Each structure stands twice: as structure tokens, then as C-alpha cells.
Structure 1
Amino acid sequence: MISENDWKQEQARLNEVTGTLQAKIAELEPEVSGLRNQVTDFRKKFWEDVTVNTSTFDDFEETLYSIRQQEALLNERERSHRARLQRYNNMKRMLPSPYFGRIDYEEKVLGLSEQIYIGVSSLVDEDGLSFLVYDWRTPIASMYYDHSPGPASYATPGGQIDGEMLLKRQYQIRDGELRSVFDTSVTIGDELLQQALGKGADAQMKSIVATIQKEQNAIIRDDQNRMLIVQGAAGSGKTSAALQRAAYLLYKHRDRLRADQIVLFSPNPMFNSYVSTVLPELGEENMQQTTFQEYLAHWLGSSMQLEDPFDQIEYVLTAAGDGSSAYEARLQGIRYKASESFLRALQHYATWLCMKGMQFSGIRYRDREIISAEQMAAQFYSYDSSIRLANRALLLRDWLLEQLTTLERAERAADWVQDDLDYLDVEQYEEAHKAVLKKYERDEAVFDFTQSYIDQYGDFRGTEAGEGNAFDFADQEEELLRRTIVKASFEPLRREVRRFKFIDFVRLYGQLFSKEEAYEYAEMTGTAEVPEKWAEICEQTLAKLDASELFYEDATPYLYLKELVEGVRTNTDVRHVFVDEGQDYSPFQYAFLKQLFPRARMTVLGDFGQAIFVQSTNLHEAGSPLARIYGADETRLIRLVRSYRSTLEIVELTKAMLPGGTDIVPFERRGGKPQLVQLGGSEVRAGRIASDLAELRAEGFDSIAVITKTAAEAREAHAALAGAAASDGLRLITKETLTFEKGVAVIPAYLAKGVEFDAVLVYDASAATYSRESERKLFYTVCTRAMHRLRLYSVGDVTPYMGELNASLYEVSGS
């Protein structure tokens, strides 16, 4: 703590900053309100100030100019309102706690010293010349996170500034009142971090700008590498750092980067809710948030039923016990279809398709085939062999549209068209009549001639009896109606052709699995390296395709093949892609993301210790597929080994379960030892858990998870607890759950990834549920969700992951 005199000076300074904030807020409040009303009124009166006149070209041009002028004025007022509103909101956000840190710094060259106070946003004094508070993202503020008192430097656009840090100080300010002050020689003093970590879990992740550690700051401010890989232990703050990184990028590149140019791929929809408040808390708009499954469903969901990753892992976990050949074939198929080998196989397949093997669907119209698949194939392979696959598909599409135009023209004389004409209503005939008139009005010379002819002869008849009308409107009206009827009937065909529906992608993808002999597969793909159970993999895949369904492991390759044929869909607007729980993505998916966002930098966050999916990617091994995406020169790996989420006792237990877990360093925050509750039978489990839930609530914990292995077990546990009078606040979490809330959540292990709870109760920690080595990381993931309390319940023998640990790491009790 600091001296009493220093405390008084700090309080006086805080009062000064708070007063400045209050004055600026009061000054801006009527401006913000007034501008909002101006914009609203302007929108209402937009058309009142625009004279719409299209009589002549000059009138039309003047109208267009007037609209654009009004639009520019409206846009300017909206921009002005947004800028003032952002400043207003930033100051309102700062008012309860204007800053959290301070450094005293003396520049080496000029010898100038300054007291630098650091907060979530910048604040200048009344004259606009001096900073009262620096935004944590400014270059000079980086020293607060990276240096201790002594020699220190920071980078600016003009070069590096060297000097000496004379003091580093940290504050706790609540509601404008100074609560505590610490002088420290490290980035964040243990006192401040202890208090932050000792709080209960919340329904939403919070900003960590006041407690950013040096290694997290390296993640946040990395602006050089195309690929940033963060391999972090459970609870190491990698996701929090990534969100602060997004805020930093938006601040540093505010002139050329928008929030909607950043995309976060998160593990599930509920996680999106959990992290949704972090950027707004820092005064930034939220980036785009989605899941990889949502992206697949957007492009494939209308034509195929997609398995999601949670259904896939549910199958892997529940069918593991049968030991069948079909189960092993599925596992081999998942691994192979997620690999770089299969990616290369599809690329070679695309080359092979340029020579033969394309699959088409004939075009049918009114119960007859008007263009056959054979005609399409003949046309497709008539193009020069040097033309790549996607360009040939475009040429064939254009040819088909031309064929449809010819066929449509011929169809106008069909008998069914006359039948449809007989059932048209009066309004449709009137529209056709007006259209014919407009046709002539557009040609001024013809229109003048027509009027002259009517004035002279009274109608359109020729001078001799029986001669046909010079302008036979009735015939033209009928011709227009015929054209309209046939055009409307052909439009669905045109729409389908434009969307490449004439290519049979199900058969095209299935063709890869119809050749069970390795040499036949090698001809198409250039590789004979197939899994041992290839025949069963083929059988399983084709059965799904026949039902218009796709395994999760097939969805990305299927979409990739579609893009090889149709042309790659790229998003060049997105500049930064964040992938959370990155170990759960396959090498194939990473290659696809690179192709999808060709101008983006990628930040991948994950923990291979939590790699629970079959297709997981090792983030940190030398020469990993992820490191090869952009090459070694443009890739940086940062390891986070210190775990902050859980108490020391919980971390000591969980790291001992994991091979290589000795590298994990717990933060020195103590709590009770994890407890293993051994039960005499499953019938008493619900009652014991209900009793423990009541005890934990009485301790003040209001975010508690009962974590099961699978969704089926979660439903069972939820029903049992509801029947054991533990239903108060009890919520069953499924893959459809969209929001994360406080209370008691009954949740499958794989949906709990990325989220933290005050207390975790492992519903079944017995050997009957967790015994396979492949499930060790799943069990580790479950236990590392706990911040303060961890309890495990076992009926019969406990899981070997616990049995092999030192018994001093946990307490044992009975039912």
C-alpha cells in the first residue's frame, strides 16, 4: 500500500478526472439527444425536401441530384451523431472507474517525464492538449503490461522510444471511489489479480484489460504475422486475450478496419452469447460471430441434411463400447476425411474430372426431358482440355441458358399455352395492352406517325376493304402474353441452371466411394493410401448420400469439391479470422478457411490437452498442418502455460491427469481440495448431488454445472435431479441452447468447452463411464471448467484417470 499523503494526492486526482468526465458528459448529453432528434426528423421529412420530376431527362437528373444531396446530408448527420454518441458512451463507461493503472516514465532523449494513467478509453483535459487518461491500446500504455520499473521502451509509427519507468501503480476504483492502490514491480500485482479471479463466474465473459499479463499482451498486440497460434492451458486466458486483441486491432486500424471485417468462429451458439459483451464493454462494435457448422448449413443445408459435430462426438462416445468393425471404420473415415491427404486427393480428382467422370442431371420440363445428361457431358468435354474445371462449368452453364432460350421460343406455339391464355383475367390483358402501347411510345417517330395516321383515317385500317391492321394490337398482345406465360414457366429452370443444379454433386462425391478397390480410387485421386477399412467407409458414406445426408466429416470435403467445380466462393472483405477451440478443427477445415478468406490474417486459439474430437489438430507440434498454412516465416506460436481460472488445488489435480501436464503452472489462489464422492449405488446419486447443490448455493455460488459425458446422460441427470427436489434454477443445456445464464446447468462435456463455472459437479466419474485413453482429454476438459469447487461422483470403481493420481490431491467421502 502507499503512504497516506500519496493516497490523498491520488484521491484528489481521481476527483479531478471524475469532475472532468461529469462536465463533458453534461456538455454532450443535449448534443447527443438533439442530434438523435434531428436525424429522426430528417428521415421523416426526407421526401418533403425532394421534388420528384421525371418528365424529361434534365428533370430526372435534377431529381437524382436532389436525392443524393439529401442522402449525403443525412449520412453526415448520422456520422456526427454516431461519433458524439460513442464519445458519450465511452465517458459514461469510464465514470465509475476512470483508470486502473499508472506508470511514471522519463524519455531518454528529451529527458521529459510524465505520469501516464491508463484506462479503457482516452480522456483529454479541457484545453484538449493533455491526456488525463490514456486508452490501454495506445503504444505508450503497452509498457504497463510489458515492463517493470527500470529501462523500458515502446514502439511508435516513428520508431522506438527508449527511457526509464520510474513507477508502476495499480488501482481499484468503484463508483468513483478509490478502494485500493498498489505499487508493483510486475505486470499485475497478485493482490489485484487475486481479487479479480476470486469473484464468481458470470453469465458473460468480462474484459480483462486491467489484468492483462505480459504473455497475453504479446497476443493482443501482434500485428506482423499472418498466422498467430495460441496454445494455452485450460484457464490461461487465451480467449479473453483474443477478444482484447480484436478490440486492439479495431483501435489501431480504425481508419481502415471495421468490426464486420472480423469473424470469430466459436465452438457453439451458446459460446457466442457468453462472449458477446466483451467488445461493447470496451466501446467497440461486436465482430461477426458464427460457428463452422452454421457456415456449412448456409451453403449445404437446403439440399443435404448435415450431421453436426456434436452428433458426431455423441456417436463416438456412446458407440465406443460395442467394439464393432463398423465403429472402427467410422473412426478411420473421420480421420482420413479430415486429413491433408484427402484434401490432395480431391484436388487430383478435380484434375481427373477434366478428362472424364463428370456427373450431370438432365433438365426436365413438363414431364419430358428437354436436355439430357449425355448432351451436357458431350458439350462439357468438347471444350479445350486446357480450360480448368470451374471455367468449363461456367461455359456449360452459359450454353444451357442459350439452349433454354431457344427451347422457350419454340414452346410459345404449344397447345398448352393457348389453354393458359383462355384462363387469364382482365387485369393481365390490360397489362399486356399497356405494355404494347409503351413499346410504341418509346419510339417517338413511330408514335407521331401513329397519331397522324389516326387523325387522317380514324383507325388503323388500311385504305382498301379487308386489308389487315397496320398495327395489329390484338395479335401483339397475344404474342406478349404467350411470351410471358412461357417465360414464367422456364424461369425456375433458368434459376436452377444459374445455381449449377444441373451438376449432380451427390453422385460426383459418391463416385469417390464407389470404387472400393484401391487402384481404382488411385486412378481418380492419385493416391492409393486409403484406410484399412476402406470398403466399409465407402459403404457408410454411400448409404448417407443415398438418403441425402452427410456425415460431419464429409460436409467440408463435399463443399470443397463443389467449389472446385463451381468456382471458389471467397470473402475478400474479411481481414481477420479468429478460431476458438482451434484444436477441434481438422487440417482440411483450416485449408478451407484459408481459401474462403484469402486476404485475412488468422488467430487460432486452443489447447491440445482438450482435443476431444477424432479429427483434432495438434496446434504446437513442429511442422504441424496449421504451421504450414502460411509458412514458417508468417507464423508465430505463443504458449500460455499459466492457468488462472481454477484454484491451485484444482489445477494440481487436473494437470496430473494429462500427459505433459507438468508444464502447467497454477496461479497462487487457494481453495478447497477437489472431492471424490464414492456412492454405494446410482439410486442415491441424485439425492447427494441435490444436497451438495444446496450447500454450494448457501456458500454464494450461483453458477454451477452438473457435467455429464453425453447428451443422453445429461437428459437422464436432469430428470433425476428434478425429481430429487433440486429443480430450483435447474437448466438442461443442449446444442440448441443459445444463451448462457447463471444458475445450475446440466450440460454434456463437449458443450461446456470454453465456459467456466463457480463449481463443477462431475455426474459420473466412474470407470464404467470414463476408462478409455481416448476419453482422458474429455475428462480433463470437464474438470477444468471449475473455478472454485470441484466434486466428482462415482458409483463403483473410480475412473483410472483419478485412481492413478496421488491420493493427497483430493479428498474422498462416501454416500
Structure 2
Amino acid sequence: METLEQQTADTREEMVDIRKNFWDEVTVNFEDSVEMAESYASLKQQAEVLSERERTHRQAAMQLKTLRKLKSSPYFGRIDFQEDGEGVDRVYLGIASLRDAADEDYLIYDWRAPIASLYYDYPPGPAQVETPMGTVHGELKLKRQFVIRDGEIRSLFDTGVTIGDELLQEVLGKQSDAAMKSIVGTIQREQNRIIRDERSRLLLVQGAAGSGKTSAALQRVAYLLYRFRGTLSADQIVLFSPNPMFNSYVSTVLPELGEENMQQTTFQEYLAIRMGKSFKLENPYAQLEYALTSELDSGYQARMAGIRYKASTDFVALIERYLGLLGQEGLKFRDVTFRDELLVSADQIGEYFYALDSAIAIPNRLRLVAEWLLGLLKERQKAALEEAWVDEAVELLDKDTYLKAHQSLKRQNRRNREDTFDDFDRERELLGQYVVQEQFKPIRARVRKLAFVDLKAAYVKLFNDPAFAASLSGSIGKSLPREWPDICKQTTSRLQNRTMAYEDATPFLYVIERIRGFQTNTSVRHILVDEAQDYTAFQFAYLKRLFPFSRVTALGDLNQSINAHAASDENTGFAALAALYPQEETETVVLKQSYRSTRPIVEFTSQLIPGGNEIQPFNRDGKRPTLTIAANEEELHRLLQARIEELAAEGNRTIAVICKTAVQSAIAYEALRNDSKVRLIEKETATFEPGIVVIPSYLAKGVEFDAVLVYDASAACSGYVKESERRLFYTVCTRAMHELHLFAVGNTLNPFLGGEAANYYDVPGTRSSDTTPVHTL
């Protein structure tokens, strides 16, 4: 550490000196080509030296940071392994490797090293490990765990195949922080399988709430960066998160392990970039807010049917059939004009396009059309030089434009080895060329961008005539929703108003990209998709074409499918995603153990969903969930305030009042903000911080809190009443790590709190054996 501290200080001084004196030794003479070349070489050399020093400083600083962490907690595990026919090797495991300076022997092995698999995968007894030299067989003599804090061993114990309950209890029993923590000391066998998978092109991870899916995925990134050091970098990995706040929540995991963060984005952010300013783009939270609050709107049923259908594999098949038809007929084009003169009509472009060989893909044919149009523009540009408007335009050139044109033409003359032009006619001719070039430049640019294709019309055509889509759907043996005519009206109306509904955004981009050619990203090697159950078939089809060479790790839980399209499992991304990859290249891992919440909370939440009995709670004791009934809204807010103060006094660092909708969140926030240091989480919130928050249900996904207060568990319309809201209610309740408290106004609860679930929560003021004094629908 002392060596590195000196090294970083020295390189920092060098970098400062180079930056201060960067221009001192450089002279620039634009008139002398030899001096220009020398100046360029000098600048290049200075920049390379600076870049090398910055790289050295960055690497040393990262290594120093890692050593400081090791000093505080050098290792978390030890295994004694005896290879067949050899002596016993004692191996210590930590977040990074550490070698003895004298003999180069490893004192501590990085948890990602091959030997560490023995720790995660085997109990004491026969074991084997894969190494670069082949499979090594032997016996695991000892498996020991340590809790080391601030350089002191706090506890140690021997354990079996699972990483011991003692260490998990120590980690999970703590209060939550503002950021997700590394779990390298508590990785379980199934999580290790996820982390070290190198074979699969598609890795599907289906896991119960709190099963460590996201944590394992982030450790997987750290493992891949370690395993393929030199050939894989962090900027070749992309994480698609559920929302911007989640990006903040997980942003510290990789740096904590000494790795750079991968690229992080949301699918919505990506859509917004690709859509540009062409449309006002709806976000998924606005769509979900509509689904949860607008049931009485006249077009609600048609909109919801449209959301579900446009998320389905049936709609993907319809679009593919439609794109096939556009290769034969029906693609719409725009006129190419110049100064109000029609140069090439849309009909002429269409005739030329469809006269080309239909075996050529649409994007390639459009490029041939663009070349043809550019040739016609070149001829028209030559003819324009003789037209009277050019002389008028030359006369009207302002001083700056004239000088700019004049300098440009002087450079052109030097390149062409021509004498400077003092002749008035020659100058006039060259300035005329400049004017004409500038006039035609935007037209040529639009042609190169294929602006002569009416891409919006290509998508809208599917909805202009309901019978047209019906005939296409019938030709592939599919049927349309019975609300299709109304779906068509709503879709065309929105697009005419330049509004893009969230359910239309990906299909729209998919259609136009298939027409003009996908702008694929071939540099990204791995993508991770969290909350994958909320993605549509179209979104995964789009991602696969966008990242054609990437391996995919998709994480999710079907029981937490809360988006508006998730009415049936066929519309969720898992099945649609799996269909995109060969079965032999796909690996599926199911995680059933839940670690986030205490046993009483997991026992309660598992009653809320079908098949919940398969979820295995981790044996961490805690308080039973509670249900508090308020007589009215005013009393509800008073009871919430009292509970928040109680939880804060007990040391809970993150307390969430989770509301169903953003509208409800605003009401709760206004009622609680005067008496507490409460923060309102909105869809634009980009950072996750400790404290007391009021948050809509759908923004709480993927995040955990010490204590959760469910704002409305009643049977009112503001509560969770419909069967389609069961998963949303389950998702809300599973955000709690240590305490879960439900609140309701009135004597009627939502239907999910009845039946067996009623045996797993307490109602304050009654004996635990009493019947709950309220009714469920």
C-alpha cells in the first residue's frame, strides 16, 4: 500500500506537469506543411505520454483501493483441499488475490479463481475442480467461514455444502443501505452456477422474490471480467434495469469488487434515444398508471386489449407477415423536390423499387434506390448551375458566407494546383458552384438517410383498415382480438397526434429498422436484463436483432409480472425469449430459496400467489406482519406516522410507504411530509438513498427496504382488488426485509388477505388466536 500510495502521488504530479506544459514545446504554423507535421507529431507524443500516465495512475489507484478493502476484511473463507496423491493445500478466499512479495505464493485467492468453486459447490468430502489443466480430483478436508471486520476476526465456524446460516444471519440481519452489497462471502451453490456459466448463449434465471437473482447477476459480471481479462471490458456489457433509481441502487457492487461498472440503462431510455423528437413517447409507468386508475374511461377495455396483443408473439408473427408483404407491394414513398419543383415522384420511386429483384432484402433495395436518386440529383445539380436564381443567390451572399466560400475555393484551387482566381467570371462560376452545392446538400443528406420512404405510414397502414390486418392474421392461422377495430382507431388517432403509446414504441421501431436496416451493436458481448418477466415478445425480438452477437442473462420472477400486458404468461418475455435461441445453447436456473425477508414475512407472502408453497424461506426469525385498520383517511395517516416514528427509533435505515399508484403516493406524501423527513419517489428519481420514502408500487421493484408499510390493503378501488393485481400486491409485500405492516381504511380487505393468508399476520389489539375482525372480498 505504501508503494502504491507513492506511485499514485508521483504519477499525479507528472500528469499535472504535462497538462500545465502541454503547449510549451509546441509551435503551430498552418502555412508550413513541414512544421504542421512536426507540430502534429509533437502533440501526438505529448498526448500518448499523458494517456499512459493516466492509465498507470488509474490502475494503481484501483489496486490501492482493493488493498485497503483487504486490510479491513482480507478473507471470508478457507478450504483445505487434498488432491489425489498430493499433500493438503490450505486456500484462503477473499474479494481479490494477494501474493507474498517474497516468494510470489498466493496468500489469498480471488473468489473468482477456479479453486474457489470448491468452497461454493462442495461439503467436506470428495470433490473436484475444473482448472485450465483439466479436472482435478481430491478431498475437501475443511470448509471454514470467517466474519472479519476492521482487521479483526469477529467469528469463525466450519460448515457444509451451503454457505453457513451463521454468516447469512450476520449479513441479512443488518439494516439496509442505500446500495446493494456484494455477496461473495455468501454465494450459494445455485447462485455460483449462475455466476460461473460460460457455455450458455442464453441464461434464464427464474427466482423467487429475494432469492438473490440480481446479486448473482452482478457477481456474474465481475466473474466474466476476471475470467476473460484482456478480451472483455466493462463497456462491452450492458445491464437493462427496471428504472433509473435501480441503476443507482446497484452501482456500487462492481466497484466494491475492484471492477469498473458496466453500461447501465433502461429499455425506456433506449427507446427515447432511438425515437428522438419524432413523437411524444409514453413511458411504462404512465401506461401502468393508466391501467391501474382509468378503468372507467370509455376506451379502457380496447386500450388494455391492445396493450396485451401488441406484447404477444401473435403480434410479432403478424408484423413478420406484414414485412414479407411489403417486400412485394405496399411500401409508401415520398416525393423528392427541389425549390418547389418535383424531381422524382413517390410513384416513380415505388416503380423503381418494386422493379428491383424481390430476392434482395428491403434495406439493400432501398440503398440501390438511394444511389439511383443521388445520380439523378447530380444531373439536376449540374443543370442548376445555368439557372438565373444562382446569380441572384450569389449576389445575396452575406459577408461571412462570401468569405467562407472564398476561402473554401482558394483551398480547392491549391489542391487542384490552379492559379488564384482574379478573373471575375471564374470567381462567379466557383461561387455559383458553392451556392448550388449548399442548396442540394440537405436533399442529398435526406436521400442517404432514406427519408424518401414514409416509415410512419408503413406502421400506420396496419391499422388504417381493420380488415387488412385480419386477412394477414388469418393467412398465418392467428386471430385478432375482438376489440381490434377500436384498437385501430386509438392507434391511428395517437400517431396522427404524434403521440407514441408505450405498447407501440417497440413494434414501431422494429418495423422501421427492418425496412431501413438495423443499426446493430456488434461490440457488446453480454447483456443482462433484470425483471425480464415484464418484457414483451417484441422487446426481446428487438434486443436480439440489436445485439446479434451478445450472450444474454435474463432474470425475473413470473409472480412479479406487474406490467399492463402481463395478464397471461404467454405474453411475458421468458417463453418468447427462450424461443429465440437454440435449446442446446440455453440454460435455465430456478432459485426457490428466499433470503431477503424474515421467515414470518416469507410465510405470509407465499400465501398470496399460486404455487407459493414452493418458496423456501431462509431460517431468519423476525416479527409477524401486521394489519392495522383505520376508521378514515385522517386516522390512517396518523397511524402511519406513529409506525414510522417507531421503526425509525428502532434503527431501521430504509422505511418505505408503498402506495399502489403515483396519485396515491402524492396524497400520502402530502399527509406525512410535515411530521417526518419523508422523500417522494417519482419516475424521474435517479438515486436511491436511505431514509423514509413514499413510493408507487411499480417503482419499488427490485429494491428492498428494512421496513415496508403498505398504504392501502383495503377492498376500495384504490387498493388491490382485481385478480390482475395479485402479483402487484405480492411484489409490494416482498420488498420488506425485517418488518411488514399493512394498513387499510374500513372493514373490508382486499381478497388476497383472506383464506390461509389470514393465519400469517397479526391484527394489533386482538389476540393472535382471534379471528380477524374484518372481512375480505
What CA distance in whole angstroms lies between the structure 2 residues aligned with 1:760 and 1:437?
A: 73
2:232 to 238, 257, 263: 257
Aligned amino acid, residue 714 of structure 2: S
Q: Which of 499, 522, 546 matches 1:572?
A: 522
Q: 1:390 aligns with which of 323, 342, 363?
A: 363
- RMSD (CA atoms): 2.5
- Asked whether the 8 Å contact 1:230–1:640 carries over to 2, the reply is yes
Shift of 1:498: 2.4
Deviations 1:412-439 (A, max 9, x none): 4444443433333445444544445444
Matched residue, 1:19: none
Q: Which residue of 2 aligns with 1:644?
A: 595
| Pairing partner for 1:628 from 558, 568, 579 | 579
Q: CA deviation at 1:320?
A: 3.1
C-alpha contact (below 8 Å) 2:565/2:571 kept by paired residues = no
Opposite residue 145 of structure 2, the aligned amino acid is Q
- Per-residue deviation at 1:487? 2.5
Matches within 5 A, 1:147-162: 147-162=122-137
Aligned partner (choices 332, 343, 352) of residue 305 of structure 2: 332
Change beyond 3 A, Cα 1:320–1:439:
closer
Q: Is 1:173 matched up with 2:123? A: no
Counterpart CA distance in 2 for 1:228 and 1:590 is 14
Asked if 2 retains the 8 angstrom alpha-carbon contact of 1:429 and 1:477, the reply is no
Query: How many Å apart are 1:529 and its aligned residue?
Result: 2.0
Aligned to 2:66: 90
Question: Are residue 720 (structure 1) and residue 696 (structure 2) matched?
Answer: no
Q: Structure 2: which amino acid aligns with 1:746?
A: V
Offset of residue 405 of structure 1: 3.0
Q: Encode CA deviations 1:215-250: one digit per residue, 9 max, x unaligned.
A: 111111111111111100000110001000000000
What SS class does the counterpart of residue 749 from structure 2 fall into? coil
Shift of residue 620 of structure 1? Answer: 13
Residue of structure 1 in register with 2:206 after alignment: 231
- CA deviation after TM superposition for structure 1 residue 364, in Å: 4.2
Asked if structure 2 preserves the Cα contact closer than 8 Å seen for 1:349 and 1:524, the reply is: no
Map Cα deviations across residues 511-539 of structure 1 (whole Å, 9 max, x no partner): 01112126764289755521111111111
Q: Deviations over 1:357-384 (max 9, x none)?
A: 1112223444554433223222222322
Offset of residue 641 of structure 1:
0.5
Measured in 2, the distance between the counterparts of 1:558 and 1:593 equals 14
- Which stretch shifts more, 642-651 or 494-503? 494-503
1:666 aligns to 2:641 (yes or no):
no
Partner residue, 2:218: 243
8 Å CA contact 1:349, 1:525 repeated in 2? no
Residue 248 of structure 1 aligns to which amino acid in structure 2?
Y
Q: CA deviation at 1:268?
A: 0.5
Query: Of the candidates 753, 770, 785, which is equivalent to residue 735 of structure 2?
Result: 785
C-alpha separation in 2, matches of 1:435 and 1:226:
53
SS at match of 1:624: helix
Aligned equivalent of 2:770:
none
Aligned residue identity for 1:743: G
SS in 2 for 1:178: strand
Are 2:686 and 1:738 aligned?
yes
8 Å contact from structure 2 (residues 534, 573) kept in 1: no
How far apart, in 2, do the equivalents of 1:256 and 1:389 lie? Answer: 35
Amino acid at match of 1:139: P
Question: 2-side partners of 1:370 and 1:506: how far apart?
Answer: 22
Aligned pairs for 1:316-395 within 5 A:
316-320=291-295, 326-395=299-368
Q: Secondary structure at the match of 1:283?
A: coil
User: Structure 2: where are the runs of 5+ without partners?
Assistant: 767-777
Asked if structure 2 preserves the Cα contact closer than 8 Å seen for 1:345 and 1:525, the reply is no
Counterpart residue identity of residue 63, structure 2: R
Name the CA distance, whole Å, in 1 between partners of 2:700 and 2:572: 26
* Counterparts in 2 of 1:42 and 1:128: CA distance versus 1, 3 Å: farther
Return the match for 1:535 from 472, 482, 485: 485
Q: Is the 8 A contact 1:152 1:165 kept in 2?
A: yes
Q: Which has the larger radius of gyration?
A: 1
Q: How does 1:517-536 map to 2 (within 5 A)?
A: 517=467, 521-522=471-472, 526=476, 529-536=479-486
Could you tell me how far apart the structure 1 residues matched to 2:474 and 2:376 are?
31
Q: Is the 8 A contact 2:536 2:572 kept in 1?
A: no
**1:499 alignment counterpart:** 449
> Counterpart of 1:36?
12
Rounded to whole Å, the distance in 1 between the matches of 2:409 and 2:218 is: 61
Write the distance in 1 (CA, Å) between the matches of 2:37 and 2:384.
42
Secondary structure, aligned partner of 1:98: coil
Inter-partner Cα distance in structure 2 for 1:621 and 1:347 = 19
Identical positions, percent: 50
Worse-superposed segment, 751-760 or 802-811: 802-811
Contact 1:225 1:601 in 2 (8 A): yes
Match of 1:484 in 2: 434
Q: What is the one-letter code of the residue matched to 2:662?
A: A
- Distance across 2 between alignment mates of 1:357 and 1:735: 40
2:82 to 106, 109, 113: 106
Equivalent of residue 590 in structure 1, options 532, 540, 555: 540
Instruction: Look up the SS of the partner of 2:72 in the other structure.
Output: coil
Q: d(CA) in 1 for partners of 2:405 and 2:721?
A: 76
Q: Structure 1 residues 291 and 443, CA, compared in 2 at 3 Å: closer, same or farther? A: closer
Structure 1's 154 and 798: CA in aligned 2 closer, same or farther, altered over 3 A? same
Q: What is residue 268 of structure 1 aligned with on the other side?
A: 243
In structure 2, the residue matched to 1:709 is 660
SS at match of 1:517: helix
Q: Distance in 1 between matches of 2:259 and 2:390?
A: 59
AA paired with 2:135?
A: Q
CA–CA distance in structure 2, aligned partners of residues 702 and 686 of structure 1: 21
2-structure distance, mates of 1:433, 1:625: 60
- 2:459 — aligned with what? 509
Match of residue 649 from structure 2? 698
Amino acid at match of 1:397: A
Q: Where do 5+ consecutive residues of structure 1 fail to align?
A: 1-24, 451-470
Evaluate the alpha carbon distance shift between residue 735 and residue 443 of structure 1 in structure 2; reply closer, same or farther with a 3 A threshold.
closer
Match of 2:774 in 1: none
Q: Which letter does structure 1 place at the counterpart of 2:209?
A: A
Task: Find 1:752's aligned residue among 696, 700, 708.
Answer: 700
Shift of 1:272: 0.5
* 2:534 alignment partner AA: D
1:405 to 378, 382, 386: 378
Q: Distance in 1 between matches of 2:62 and 2:484?
A: 59
C-alpha spacing 1:48/1:700, structure 2 compared with 1 (3 Å): same
TM-score with structure 1 setting the length: 0.89
**Contact 1:204/1:273, CA 8 A, preserved across alignment:** yes
Q: Structure 1: how far apart are the matches of 2:361 and 2:687?
A: 46
- Report the alpha carbon displacement of residue 82 of structure 1 after superposing the two structures with TM: 3.1
Aligned residues: 762
Match of 2:119? Answer: 144
Matches of 1:674 and 1:179, distance apart in 2 = 32
Aligned-partner SS, 2:428: helix
Residues 227 and 602, structure 1, Cα contact 8 Å, conserved in 2? yes
Which residue of the other structure, out of 754, 758, 775, is the alignment partner of 1:807? 758
> Matches of 1:622 and 1:594 in 2, distance apart?
12
Residue 431 to residue 734, structure 1, CA distance change in 2 (3 Å): closer
Q: Distance in 2 between matches of 1:621 and 1:548?
A: 28
Give the Cα–Cα distance (whole angstroms) in 1 for the partners of residues 46 and 702 of structure 2. 48
**Aligned in 2, Cα 1:620/1:170: closer, same or farther, shift over 3 Å?**
farther
In structure 1, distance between residues paired with 2:365 and 2:339: 28
The structure-2 alpha-carbon separation of the partners of 1:814 and 1:302, relative to structure 1 and needing over 3 Å to count, comes to farther
Seen in structure 2, the aligned counterparts of structure 1 residues 628 and 415 have a Cα distance that, compared at 3 Å, is same
Residue 297 of structure 1 aligns with an amino acid whose one-letter code is: A
For 1:60 and 1:621, the matched residues in 2 are separated by: 61
| Aligned equivalent of 1:765 | 713
* Deviation (angstroms), 1:623: 9.5
Q: 1:154 to 1:397 in 2, by over 3 A?
A: same
Q: Assess if the C-alpha contact under 8 Å between 1:521 and 1:528 holds in 2.
A: no
